[in-house]
Amino acid sequence: MNILVINGSPMEKSRTRGIAKLVKELLEEKGVMVAYYDLGIEKLPLFPGDEDNKENDSLQKLYKEAKEADGFFITSPEYHNGMSGVLKNALDFLGGTHFKHKPAAIAAASGGSKGGINALNNMRTVLRGLYAFVLPDQFVSDPECYDENYDLVDRESVERLQVITDLLVDLTEKLGVKQEQNVR
């Protein structure tokens, strides 16, 4: 099983990256192969409405990792009541062939109290449009859940992410079995 974890924050210092890094560690502890794609490091061009950027190394890496993924864990900060622009741009480059019949878990980092839900709803809508099976469970965190290095350290938050990663692994395994049975 291969899960692609995407950090949807463009920021150098990012609580969203703190979620993504922790999710990567939790999945690896479960014996899952994890690909990690960080939109704060990988710089994608703006989506032009077609696939005319075939020479872009960051884009080719995204295509390859999404194609090989059996499931996804996608994170975003909430910007102006939605997901980050860099995440939406990355998802625009991808299509249903990357996500169809694959599970996706989502998480958001709030910039303040009571934020993040709109980003999650926005991500859920777009991922459904890409034919992903978006887990009904989701995660949002507030700034006080992090230490000074932007690592997620709040015990309840870590436990919550353990539950969601367990659900993602379980659903990915079940869908993988069904896909293999349909091939035969």
Report the CATH number at residue 167.
Answer: 3.40.50.360
CA distances for 8 relative to 52, 74, 88, 119, angstroms = 22, 7, 9, 11
- Alpha carbons 124 and 104: distance in angstroms, whole number: 9
Number of folded domains that form the chain: 1
- Taking all residues of the chain, what is their mean pLDDT, rounded to a whole number? 92
The predicted structure's pLDDT at residue 121: 97
- Alpha carbons 76 and 97: distance in angstroms, whole number: 22
Whether residue 184 is predicted with pLDDT greater than 50 in this model: the reply is: no
The predicted structure's pLDDT at residue 55: 81
The predicted structure's pLDDT at residue 110: 86
> Which residue range is the domain that position 58 belongs to?
2-183
Q: What is the mean pLDDT of residues 5-23?
A: 96
List phi, psi (to 5°) of 77.
-75, 165
DSSP code of residue 110: -
pLDDT digits (tens, 9 = 90+) for 101-151: 999 999 999 876 667 899 999 999 999 999 999 999 999 999 999 999 999
CA distances for 178 relative to 49, 65, 73, 104, 159, angstroms = 33, 22, 21, 17, 29
> What does the chain come to in residues?
184
The predicted structure's pLDDT at residue 115: 77
pLDDT digits (tens, 9 = 90+) for 65-102: 999 999 999 999 999 999 999 999 999 999 999 999 99
Of all residues in the chain, the percent with pLDDT exceeding 70 is 92
Whether residue 179 is predicted with pLDDT greater than 60 in this model: the reply is: no
Of all residues in the chain, the percent with pLDDT exceeding 90 is 85
Q: What is the mean pLDDT of residues 18-44?
A: 97
